Structure 1
Amino acid sequence: MKYSASMQRITFICGFLLSYFISAQEISILDMDTREPVLNVAVYNLDKSKTALSDNNGKCDLTIFDRHERITFKHLSYEVRKVTKAQILRRGGKVYLTIRAEQLDEVVMSISKWEQQRKDVPQKIVSINSRQVAQVNPQTSADLLQNSGKVFVQKSQLGGGSPMIRGFATNRLLLSVDGVRMNNAIFRGGNIQNIISIDPFNIKNTEVLFGPGSVIYGSDAIGGVMNFYTKKPVFGESDSTSLSGNAYYRFSSANLENTLHADITFGKQKWAFLTSTSFNDFGNLQMGSHGPDSYLRRSYVTTRNGEDGVVANQNPREQIPTGYNQINLMQKIAFRPNKIWDYNLGLHYSETSDYARYDRLIRPGNDGNEFQSAEWFYGPQKWFMGNLQIDKKGQNKFYDGLKITAAYQRFEESRNNRDFGEPIRFTTKERVDAISANIDFENKKIGDLRLYYGAGYIFNKVNSNGSQRNIETNTLSNAASRYPDGSTWQTAAAYINGEYKAKPNFTLLSGLRYSHVWVDAVFDKTFYPFPFDTADLSTGALTGSLGFSWFPRANLQITWNGSTGFRAPNIDDVGKVFDSEPGSVVVPNPDLEPEYAYNTELGIQKNFDDKVVLKGAAFYTYLVDALVRRDYQFNGQSQITYNGELSNVQAIQNAAKAYVYGFELGLEAFLSDHWSIISNLTITEGIEEEEDGTDSPARHVAPTFGDFHVIWKNQRLRTDLFLNYNGEIAFEDLAPSERNKAYIYATDSDGNPFSPSWYTLNFRSQFSVSDALKASLNLENLTDQRYRSYSSGISAPGINFVLGLGYRF
């Protein structure tokens, strides 16, 4: 018996050691930045007599290789890696691959909400992955889009960033986070800054869809869609536990920025958790030395002992006040009980401090005052989202994939302003509660036809109140709210989208969507004698798209797409009361209809021996029943008193048509393994046409803009010397509403406002000290130009030194 027991123990130990030895030969091949598995990696020795391939989990068995044999890891999308098996085993059995800079993202999700080959998509899509985010090292997500070279961004203050795409902006663009619509019932036609609530450190991938996306996304997706996909927690391998994290610090000299970020992910085989936090502290922004003197901040308002005064600015290049701080938190929980079901819960929270609206603080005053406002600031901008997503894979009679998404969002914002020398500070506070539910299906069983279909529902409730405080007596009283308190906006929709591969080199995409929108608002007549009691809108919209992607040759792609988009009136259109521009007040208009866009786009891409890629796109969009701000009558009056100022009455109306057209050009040249060139150029023109036949330049048409990058890289160092350029918009090409804001523009030789052209020369570098430690050094605006982007009320940074340090464990 003793002998038998001893033999059993020896057998067990030998078996354990053997299983350990065998398992030790199995390694994981992972993406250097995302830590996700890389499948289909070719693994071979020097003479290729021994080969292996990584599986869907990035696993690969190295048993056939000798311990000190040099092994090559090769994948189309990644840099070649050579290392011995002994080195791999000493490093925990993991091999990290670095993606090739020239590798285009082959899979996109913005067209159907499901993964599709990018080459089969007829619409222009720009993808920005986490590596590019790290290379750009942006302060905010608005800066991330701007640094792509393909999206124009306007800023009214440091705490802002309003993208413009193909002549459209604000509530004619749709913003989405992890598949959940961020646009709410009070997204306005004026510039918005909700995009800064998205933490760039948490972005895994961003996709910008150019042109209408209403078939999938419904109302507001006229000019484009910006999809932000945040990072996911990583599951552990087998029964093991995975633990990893990041810590990051960033400093920027132009506004004395200090940013701290940390995240940690913990994973088991079925459960995974990701916790992330970021804190930003921004000081006042310094503008450049060389440019229009009218941009200088020579003086500003201070309030002492209840009295307003104007003091000289000791440093006119310092834009006082522009600084603010912000915190971003994210918690992800993932549960994967088997290979069929995935459950993902995402919790996001963002909050800013108070921050000044700088363009209002430099506005000249009436009655001989140097400034109109003594105070004009936004209260904390808060955003919370709880998002539950359930994914199912596997065979079913009607679908191959199922996604259910349910989300709750809460938005809070406020506006606070007080005129110079006046004791009353007016405040409006808004809160929007938004719930949404979507169900999406993918069907791949119908031969060469793939179908995507689904339905969704969104409900928004708006709470709004107004108050006024006497800063001398500190008394608080009620005032008019910005929106009808308790108003609601809701929409229900269903869609179907199809992808048909007619030939291996020819793919057709088409889709239809019907959306219905309801608006319900009750107006409070306490402060304004509205000539109506309610706004009760019920409108429907049918939108569609049709396009193709054709490869007449393997190195030549031609795409065409035709699509329609719409935007239904929201609470901001129907029920807002606010001062839109100096001397004007916008009042509610309950008689509105949706606006519609008709778009066509032609694209071409030519690949020259994988060394040079040329891209071009031409587009044309026609907008009818455009919702625009125009003069209006309120109870028969063209002027009313608002916040103590006699103002012209305006309202949002279906009062115009518009057309926008333009060209987008791109160049990618891979000169060697180390050198490459990337360049982009966007040219856009747009006209708004009134009902009486007169026309004027469209407000949100950006000037010609572009960039040119010269990049050098090796395994550890990446450098980027680049030029950013913006063209001029002359006075005659400024929209009438922009001409009324002459104080934010330079002055031409005739004394008229205009937006000058500008350029900046910049340098970026990123160095991998080790696999764990990375450092970045950026020098922006090397020639210290003083400039303002078109329609922006704040000047851009002057020469700017940016340092970043990141550690991964």
Structure 2
Amino acid sequence: MLTSLPMKFLLFLCTLLILGVSVQSQNVKILEKSTSLPIAGAVIYNASKVRSTMSDIDGVANLSQFSSDDILFVEHLLYQIGSFKTSDMVDAIIYLKPKIEGLDEVVLSASKFQQSKRDIPQKIINITAKSIAFSNPQTSADLLESSGNVFIQKSQMGGGSPMIRGLSTNRLLITVDGVRMNNAIFRGGNLQNVISIDPFTIHNTEVTLGAGSVVYGSDALGGVMSFYTQTPQLSYSDSLYFRGNAVARYATANKEKTGHLDLNFGLEQWAFFTSISYTDFNDLRMGSHGPLDYIRPEYIRTLDGIDQLVVNDNPLLQVPTAYDQINLLQKVRYEPKEDWTFDLGLYYTTTSDYSRYDRLIRYKGNQLRSAEWNYGPQQWFMGNVQVTKLSSNSNLYDKIQATMAYQNFQESRMDRDFNKPKRNIREEAVDAISANLDLEKQLGARTELFYGLEYIYNEVTSSGTEEDINTGTTNGTVSRYPNGSDWQSVALYSSLKFKPNPKFVFQTGIRYNHVVLNADFTENNKYLNLPYSNTNINTGAFTGTAGVNWNPNQTITLKFNASSAFRAPNIDDIGKVFDSEPGAVVVPNDDLKPEYAYGLELGLKLNFENCVILDMATYYTYLDNTLVRRDFTLNGNSEIMYDDEMSTVQAIQNAAESRIFGFEVGLMVNFTEALKLKSDYNIIGGREEDDFGNSTSLRHAAPQFGATHVIWQKNKWQLDAFANYNSELSNNQLAPSEKEKGYMYALDEHGNPYAPSWYTLNFRTQYQFNQAVSLTASLENITDQRYKTYSSGIAAPGRNLILSLKYTL
């Protein structure tokens, strides 16, 4: 009996082996020709299209349903169609060639449902996970900058504030998996919230250039940045599907040390995706060739409670800029039936305390002004549930999607003047609840309808404290925002796509949005003595869009789009109290109205047989009732005491109108299948005119900027030699608010601040050793230029070697 057990076990193993060989013999693997990476989602079907199958995340598809004499077709939106005999495909690897350009890419940001990119009348930039892995960004702000159409401002290393077509911060919308990240305290000043999104988890990023208020409501005046994280992969079989990735990265300019791990477990109906990333940054080193105005000759260090002015041993080292960050993501997918999908996402990120570097380089007389100016941990948590239902017999929809989300944002600020014992501490938190219902319906062969509802609720808590660092005693002080205030939005939208023939698409849409805001200033009136104790906003807005996309032939694509958009005042606009600059304080203003944007965009794409592709767009935006910071009076006083300093009173006001115009051009030259040139250039202009007819430059209109890449890709190698460049902004071209920040800028021959032009030369390579191991290496700013991107308080990295090793389980 005992001797028969090994024999039975051996027979069992042989049976499994035979079955495994039999199963294996029915499989085919779909790979990208240039990189040998697996292609997920490739559809394989026979000539009659009666039978079909799809490749999984490893590029594997099962062919058991096809007969041996079938002619099979392999199709994927991003690759050229291949055709093969079943007998040739069994136990084979099929290589697909990528399409030259992504006109057939599917985008989600335009309607929250899948649409072909060629049908959208607006310009949409698509950044894939593959290109993210190659560009190797340290943060999601750097990820956006790599697109070539988004300008990034930085006040400290733990930051990155996007600018798109002359607009920024709370006039741009950020979404994560369809949920808006913008909240009631998103400010008109520079924002750092985008760094809370982990680049390692991004499957795809879509940047819509221009207004997106019809689908997304308030704040989407200048553009929408839509981040879509990885979706858990099911096995669709009885066996477990497992996949994992581990990444280690090091960078020399800030001694970055990053570790990342993600794991996917897939069952027949359930799938789980877990991700963790940790990054530690040291102080950032700037370049050695450039304006001396940027160097850091000295800094303040506090020992045993005593502030000391310290000579910087390395003036190129920006002290202090170090910080660390952790990102966690857990996603769960459940598919009980083919027409039902349930998705759960849990997101958490937090930073350490990090210094606001631009505040630490200000001088008061001949000495540094601040001993410390820190942000506390920037924390973000989101939990969202999304339910998707497909229907073939409903009169109301073909696809319906319900999304519910809860978010919690926490941030704080701590500052103390040199040799002063009093530390000012202000802490804020926002609880945000949102619910969306989005529907899609095919009304006919040529007409498609998208429509939906949205509700948003934000509650703000805020506190202010004065702490004596010598005695440890604390006292209450004015908070940054009115504590307990809330902001609500309810909206209904509809969008229609009409496609009478394959060459012409017309899209139009309308949205009604109603916003209610309540702010209670009772607590802050202990310190401010405002002429009111509470205020509210109750306002509504209609917005609309209409555009056409015309492809008369294979060479020409014409796009035209007209849109209106709006931004309702939020808690930051109506109730903020903060020191905007030395000697100035912003106070609440209860007399605010929404600002409206009216835009036109014209695009032309010329495609000469996929060898030379020229993509151009020009746009114009008129912003009415622009919310800007201007001098103000409080109880008849133009100055008040704030944080022990007599300060000029300012407030956010509807005190201007803005005109923004620009031109974008992109060029792609495909010399061979392996070698290509890619270049993008952006020209932006804008003027802001106040109620008295005074015209000034627009603060967030970036200088002309662009990038040119020469890319070679073949087999396992990918090489990219590229240059980034930025034109000068003279003192006369700077906005008044920027001229007041001379400590951030270089000085011209007259001693006036200006933004010098700059360029960097860079080289990047990636080698795929096998399907499991790849190495990415970048040498950025090869000539070690010392420069600052426009409006940035921190200088950019000097020569920087980045090494990243990825292992796929």
TM over 0.5: yes
2:37 matches 1:38? no
Q: Name the CA distance, whole Å, in 2 between partners of 1:22 and 1:473.
A: 78
Q: Name the CA distance, whole Å, in 2 between partners of 1:412 and 1:196.
A: 14
Q: Give the corresponding residue for 1:709.
A: 709
Counterpart among 418, 421, 439 of residue 423 in structure 1: 421
Q: Give the corresponding residue for 1:302.
A: 301
SS state at 2:142 partner: helix
Q: How much does 1:77 deviate?
A: 3.0
Asked if structure 2 preserves the Cα contact closer than 8 Å seen for 1:412 and 1:432, the reply is yes
Moved more, 639-648 or 401-410: 639-648
Asked if structure 2 preserves the Cα contact closer than 8 Å seen for 1:464 and 1:486, the reply is yes
Q: Name the CA distance, whole Å, in 1 between partners of 2:73 and 2:343.
A: 36
Asked if structure 1 preserves the Cα contact closer than 8 Å seen for 2:53 and 2:63, the reply is no
Asked if structure 2 preserves the Cα contact closer than 8 Å seen for 1:39 and 1:54, the reply is no
Q: Give the corresponding residue for 2:724.
A: 724
Q: Give the corresponding residue for 1:267.
A: 266
Q: Name the CA distance, whole Å, in 2 between partners of 1:503 and 1:89.
A: 39
2:177 matches 1:178? yes
Asked if structure 2 preserves the Cα contact closer than 8 Å seen for 1:630 and 1:652, the reply is yes
Counterpart among 385, 407, 415 of residue 388 in structure 1: 385
> Residues 241 and 89 of structure 1: is their aligned pair in 2 closer, same or farther, counting only changes over 3 Å?
farther
Q: How much does 1:238 deviate?
A: 2.0
Q: Give the corresponding residue for 2:684.
A: 684
Q: Name the CA distance, whole Å, in 2 between partners of 1:75 and 1:192.
A: 38
Asked if structure 2 preserves the Cα contact closer than 8 Å seen for 1:40 and 1:75, the reply is yes
Q: Name the CA distance, whole Å, in 2 between partners of 1:34 and 1:631.
A: 59
SS state at 1:552 partner: coil
Q: How much does 1:645 deviate?
A: 1.1
> Residues 458 and 28 of structure 1: is their aligned pair in 2 closer, same or farther, counting only changes over 3 Å?
farther
Instruction: Output one character per residue of 1:436-491: Cα deviation in whole Å (capped at 9) or x when no partner.
Output: 00000000133311000000100000000011111111112211110000000010
Output the amino acid matched with 2:750.
D
Instruction: Output one character per residue of 1:737-777: Cα deviation in whole Å (capped at 9) or x when no partner.
Output: 00000010001111110000000000010100111100011
Q: Give the corresponding residue for 2:6.
A: none
> Residues 636 and 391 of structure 1: is their aligned pair in 2 closer, same or farther, counting only changes over 3 Å?
same
Residues 88-99 of structure 1 mapped to structure 2, 5 A cutoff: 99=98
> Residues 584 and 34 of structure 1: is their aligned pair in 2 closer, same or farther, counting only changes over 3 Å?
farther
Instruction: Output one character per residue of 1:544-574: Cα deviation in whole Å (capped at 9) or x when no partner.
Output: 0000000122221000000001000000000
Q: Give the corresponding residue for 1:595.
A: 595
Q: Name the CA distance, whole Å, in 2 between partners of 1:300 and 1:126.
A: 41
Q: Give the corresponding residue for 2:3.
A: none
Q: Give the corresponding residue for 2:8.
A: none
Residues 324-343 of structure 1 mapped to structure 2, 5 A cutoff: 324-343=323-342
Q: Give the corresponding residue for 1:609.
A: 609
Q: Give the corresponding residue for 2:467.
A: 469
Q: Name the CA distance, whole Å, in 1 between partners of 2:675 and 2:718.
A: 10
Counterpart among 400, 403, 418 of residue 402 in structure 1: 400
SS state at 1:133 partner: helix
> Residues 299 and 82 of structure 1: is their aligned pair in 2 closer, same or farther, counting only changes over 3 Å?
farther
> Residues 163 and 105 of structure 1: is their aligned pair in 2 closer, same or farther, counting only changes over 3 Å?
farther
TM-score (norm 2): 0.93
Q: Name the CA distance, whole Å, in 2 between partners of 1:270 and 1:258.
A: 37
2:386 matches 1:355? no
Moved more, 16-25 or 568-577: 16-25
Q: Give the corresponding residue for 2:7.
A: none
> Residues 406 and 617 of structure 1: is their aligned pair in 2 closer, same or farther, counting only changes over 3 Å?
same
2:771 matches 1:771? yes
Output the amino acid matched with 2:327.
N
Q: Give the corresponding residue for 2:78.
A: 77
Output the amino acid matched with 1:505.
K
Moved more, 580-589 or 171-180: 580-589
Q: Name the CA distance, whole Å, in 2 between partners of 1:227 and 1:671.
A: 32
> Residues 63 and 55 of structure 1: is their aligned pair in 2 closer, same or farther, counting only changes over 3 Å?
closer
2:791 matches 1:791? yes
> Residues 52 and 224 of structure 1: is their aligned pair in 2 closer, same or farther, counting only changes over 3 Å?
same
Moved more, 103-112 or 708-717: 103-112
> Residues 534 and 27 of structure 1: is their aligned pair in 2 closer, same or farther, counting only changes over 3 Å?
same
Q: Give the corresponding residue for 1:47.
A: none
Q: How much does 1:78 deviate?
A: 3.7
Instruction: Output one character per residue of 1:587-631: Cα deviation in whole Å (capped at 9) or x when no partner.
Output: 000110000000000000010011111000000000000010000
Residues 574-589 of structure 1 mapped to structure 2, 5 A cutoff: 574-589=574-589
Moved more, 179-188 or 496-505: 496-505
Q: Name the CA distance, whole Å, in 1 between partners of 2:15 and 2:781.
A: 65
Asked if structure 2 preserves the Cα contact closer than 8 Å seen for 1:41 and 1:75, the reply is no
Residues 351-750 of structure 1 mapped to structure 2, 5 A cutoff: 351-365=350-364, 368-395=365-392, 396-523=394-521, 524=523, 525-750=525-750
Q: How much does 1:145 deviate?
A: 0.6
Q: Name the CA distance, whole Å, in 1 between partners of 2:319 and 2:87.
A: 59
SS state at 1:345 partner: strand
Q: How much does 1:99 deviate?
A: 4.8
Instruction: Output one character per residue of 1:266-322: Cα deviation in whole Å (capped at 9) or x when no partner.
Output: 001100000000000000000000000010000001112222121110000000000
Q: Name the CA distance, whole Å, in 1 between partners of 2:676 and 2:18.
A: 49
Q: How much does 1:24 deviate?
A: 3.5
Please give the root-mean-square deviation of Cα atoms over the aligned residues, in Å: 2.7
> Residues 181 and 394 of structure 1: is their aligned pair in 2 closer, same or farther, counting only changes over 3 Å?
same
> Residues 74 and 625 of structure 1: is their aligned pair in 2 closer, same or farther, counting only changes over 3 Å?
closer
> Residues 606 and 473 of structure 1: is their aligned pair in 2 closer, same or farther, counting only changes over 3 Å?
same
Q: Name the CA distance, whole Å, in 1 between partners of 2:410 and 2:312.
A: 33
Q: Name the CA distance, whole Å, in 2 between partners of 1:176 and 1:36.
A: 27
Instruction: Output one character per residue of 1:74-94: Cα deviation in whole Å (capped at 9) or x when no partner.
Output: 86734899999999988xx88
Q: Give the corresponding residue for 2:63.
A: 61
Q: Percent identity?
A: 49
Q: How much does 1:42 deviate?
A: 8.1
Q: Name the CA distance, whole Å, in 1 between partners of 2:73 and 2:595.
A: 57
Asked if structure 2 preserves the Cα contact closer than 8 Å seen for 1:250 and 1:802, the reply is yes
Q: Name the CA distance, whole Å, in 2 between partners of 1:85 and 1:243.
A: 28
Asked if structure 1 preserves the Cα contact closer than 8 Å seen for 2:236 and 2:269, the reply is no
> Residues 340 and 42 of structure 1: is their aligned pair in 2 closer, same or farther, counting only changes over 3 Å?
closer
Q: How much does 1:372 deviate?
A: 1.0
> Residues 801 and 57 of structure 1: is their aligned pair in 2 closer, same or farther, counting only changes over 3 Å?
closer
Instruction: Output one character per residue of 1:405-441: Cα deviation in whole Å (capped at 9) or x when no partner.
Output: 0000000000000011110000100010000000000
Q: Name the CA distance, whole Å, in 2 between partners of 1:664 and 1:172.
A: 20
Asked if structure 2 preserves the Cα contact closer than 8 Å seen for 1:680 and 1:706, the reply is yes
Output the amino acid matched with 1:434.
A
Asked if structure 1 preserves the Cα contact closer than 8 Å seen for 2:30 and 2:55, the reply is no
Gaps (5+ residues) in structure 1?
A: 1-11, 45-50
> Residues 79 and 311 of structure 1: is their aligned pair in 2 closer, same or farther, counting only changes over 3 Å?
farther
SS state at 1:410 partner: strand
Asked if structure 2 preserves the Cα contact closer than 8 Å seen for 1:161 and 1:193, the reply is yes
Q: How much does 1:40 deviate?
A: 3.5
Asked if structure 2 preserves the Cα contact closer than 8 Å seen for 1:432 and 1:463, the reply is yes
SS state at 1:336 partner: strand
Output the amino acid matched with 1:218.
G
> Residues 377 and 105 of structure 1: is their aligned pair in 2 closer, same or farther, counting only changes over 3 Å?
farther
Asked if structure 2 preserves the Cα contact closer than 8 Å seen for 1:494 and 1:515, the reply is yes
Q: How much does 1:37 deviate?
A: 3.2
Moved more, 261-270 or 57-66: 57-66
Asked if structure 2 preserves the Cα contact closer than 8 Å seen for 1:29 and 1:54, the reply is no
Asked if structure 2 preserves the Cα contact closer than 8 Å seen for 1:563 and 1:599, the reply is yes
Asked if structure 1 preserves the Cα contact closer than 8 Å seen for 2:543 and 2:565, the reply is yes
SS state at 1:472 partner: coil
Q: Give the corresponding residue for 1:3.
A: none
Output the amino acid matched with 1:747.
L
Asked if structure 1 preserves the Cα contact closer than 8 Å seen for 2:44 and 2:73, the reply is no
Q: Name the CA distance, whole Å, in 1 between partners of 2:646 and 2:203.
A: 50
Gaps (5+ residues) in structure 2?
A: 1-11
Moved more, 547-556 or 349-358: 547-556
